[in-house]
Homo-oligomer: A and B are copies of this chain.
């Protein structure tokens, strides 16, 4: 469904959000540990999330990653997925036709667009805040 990069990116962002709600910055190393992801690969993903304005990064001692507290509520899962995996998942054809077009649909078009739209709506309606809260109160987990 999502790429590995996207999976790591979502988990990392949620973890950063939890820390940011306590006004704490968190290092790449700690993120990778808590999220159970390869350090250097995670670095690339965070870099791209920073460029997309989803997270902030600071170099140097006491540096690390954080998210503006006011943003935590407005950032949606959709923003993270879109930043990493692009929008092929939201608008691409289920059978790989160059573009999904209802006027020249592939055989699964009618059945597929419903699922695809549900996914999009779900991601657009899911805030980073609720995901971070669920993690903080111990309801959810980032690794097994």
Contact = CB atoms under 8 A, between A and B. Distances in A.
Given A7-B96, A10-B95, A115-B119, A140 B1 contact: no
Interface stretch (A22-30, A38-46, A51-59, A98-106): A98-106
Interface in A83-133: 89, 92, 94-99, 101, 104-109, 111-112, 114-116, 118-119, 122, 126, 131-132
Size class of A's contact patch?
Answer: 35 or more
A77 B139 CA distance: 35
A14 interface: yes
B97 A143 contact: yes
A71 interface: no
A140 B106 contact: yes
Nearest to A95: B7
